[in-house]
Amino acid sequence: MFFEYPILLWLLVIPALLVLHYIYVEKAGKRPHMRVSSVVPWKAGGRSVMSYLRHIPFILRIFALVMIVIAIARPRSSEELSKIDTEGIDIMLAMDVSTSMLARDLTPDRISASKDIAIEFISQRPSDRMGIAVFAGESYTQCPLTTDRATLINLMKEVQTDLIEDGTAIGNGLATAVARLKDSDAKSRVVILLTDGVNNSGEVSPQMAAEIAKTYGVRVYTIGVGKEGMAPYPVMTPWGVQVQNMKVEIDEKLLKEIAESTGGRYFRATDNTKLAEIYSEINKMEKARTTVDSFPVYEELFGKYALLALIALLTQLLFNWFVIRRLP
């Protein structure tokens, strides 16, 4: 502990002088007195407890004064903590929102599982700027790069199918994500592209988008979502929505090419657990280098001493009222 204004501690001389004066008065016999014909009855009785308790109010006042002097000298405590400065990593999540993402081979379906696990990934990286791009037959930016986790997570929750033309424009989705990263001055720029289909639409080919990403130094991790073979899809029929098994088609060769050409990796997620493991692995790979500095963290102790002074003064008042009440 140290004091911001230590010179004010000289004021402790005042309570010290008051104590000396009090002792002098007590010893010099200058206390209030009265004349009586004989002191024999009082001598026989000895000193009562009250003769000792009468000093307590003075002690409490002196204690309160000392606490007030210490409080105004602004006592503080300090602790050395470590500060970790992370190099910036900018990450764009490019997510397929085509109707095929409603397949239920993941729980409850592909798009819901992808959103939930992406939100968990976002929460684990509080120091990075992140954004969201979505694509189906075309693409758009759902959320630009931001450090506002609450906004980012809320916008991720709002991602759904049927908002844009259906299809799978992988090239457009990747190009939109790269466009958000190309002017970034972050040390590392990453796109995590998640899809469950084959590129079948869009103005930009996946190969062109991958070349653009490579030009700007953007690393792309690709994730193919869906089980091998058949997957249950909700299909609208004259009798309402029914679940039917349909063939799963994922262009794994293309996704591997995109990832390898940009220095990333391709992953295949066949269930919720595998998808969560993929994001966890990417999270470990994309760790920023850190530098550790020490810095002091201060805690103000003024309030503790002021509270002690208040308690002492209140105790003194109660003591005077109820214990050693004086006659008029």
pLDDT in tens, 56-80: 888 999 999 999 999 998 888 766 5
CA nearest 198: which of 98, 298, 296, 115?
98
- Please work out, in degrees rounded to the nearest 5, the angle formed at the alpha carbon of residue 223 by the alpha carbons of 96 and 235: 45
The third-level CATH classification (topology) of the domain covering 88-288 is Rossmann fold (3.40.50)
**How far is the C-alpha of 245 from the C-alpha of 233, rounded, in Å?**
6
- Please work out, in degrees rounded to the nearest 5, the angle formed at the alpha carbon of residue 184 by the alpha carbons of 178 and 190: 50
Tokens representing 260 are 């390898």
Looking at this protein, which amino acid is placed at residue 252? E
| Tens digits of pLDDT across the chain (328 residues) | 778 888 988 999 999 999 998 888 877 765 556 676 666 666 655 566 666 677 888 899 999 999 999 999 888 876 655 454 555 689 999 999 999 999 999 999 999 999 999 999 999 988 889 999 999 999 999 999 998 999 999 999 999 998 899 999 999 999 999 999 999 888 889 999 999 989 999 999 999 999 999 999 999 999 999 988 889 988 877 787 788 888 889 999 999 999 999 999 999 999 999 999 999 999 888 765 544 455 566 678 888 999 999 998 999 888 888 776 654 5
**How far is the C-alpha of 328 from the C-alpha of 106, rounded, in Å?**
88
Kindly report, residue by residue over 178-208, the tens digit of the pLDDT: 999 999 888 889 999 999 989 999 999 999 9
Q: Output the pLDDT for position 292.
A: 45
Q: Output the pLDDT for position 49.
A: 67
Question: DSSP letter at 232?
Answer: E
Asked whether the whole model's pTM tops 0.85, one would answer no
Contact 61, 15 (CB under 8 A): no
Contact partners, residue 55, CB within 8 Å, separation at least 6? none
| Cα atoms in the 13 Å half-sphere on the side-chain side of 257 | 13
